[in-house]
């Protein structure tokens, strides 16, 4: 009886070790030692230019390293033809932990284009370090 229990225990130990090994091997590893985790972009952020009024953008994660930004509060952006719930940001995290992608830009005259954008997210601030529109610089998080 003791040998049977020892064998069962040994099989369980080996099985647990195998599961732990597979889990560790499948975990996403950094490609480079300097690679950083993406900044905390998920949540609502308030645009900072006076023309935007109370424009608020809500970012949602799409997987681990992609995010989509939609208009949560229209504010003064309606005069440019934007709509509540419209997607205006499409970004992905790079190896530096920054968010890089595109911003939907519109003029009062109705011109529309997708411009490049680079965002740095901290717990309290979302800053567009590369953008054609100052409304997305130093945006505070909405609580």
Position 65 pLDDT exceeds 90: yes
23-34 per-position pLDDT tens digit: 444 345 677 788
* pLDDT of 66: 97
Contacts 24+ apart (CB under 8 A), 111-118: 112/81, 114/90, 117/89, 117/91
Total-model pTM: 0.76
Q: How many Cβ atoms are within 10 Å of 57's Cβ, its own excluded?
A: 26
Residue spans per domain, the chain:
43-140
| pLDDT tens by residue, 32-52 | 788 899 999 999 999 999 988
Alpha-helical (H) ranges within the chain are 2-26
pLDDT tens-digit series, residues 90-141: 999 999 999 999 999 998 888 999 999 999 999 999 999 988 888 999 999 9
**What pLDDT shows up at residue 13?**
61
């Amino acid at each position: 009886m003791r040998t049977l229990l020892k064998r069962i225990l040994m099989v369980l130990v080996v099985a647990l070790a195998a599961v732990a090994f597979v889990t560790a091997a499948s975990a996403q590893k950094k490609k480079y030692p300097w690679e950083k985790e993406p900044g905390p972009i998920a949540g609502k952020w308030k645009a900072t230019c006076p023309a935007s009024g109370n424009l608020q953008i809500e970012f949602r994660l799409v997987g681990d390293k992609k995010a989509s930004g939609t208009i949560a509060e229209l504010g003064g952006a309606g005069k440019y033809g934007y709509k509540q719930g419209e997607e205006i940001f499409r970004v992905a995290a790079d190896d530096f932990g920054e968010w890089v992608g595109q911003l939907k830009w519109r003029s009062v005259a109705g011109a529309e284009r997708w411009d490049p954008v680079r965002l740095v997210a901290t717990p309290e601030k979302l800053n567009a370090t590369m953008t054609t529109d100052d409304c997305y610089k130093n945006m505070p998080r909405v609580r």
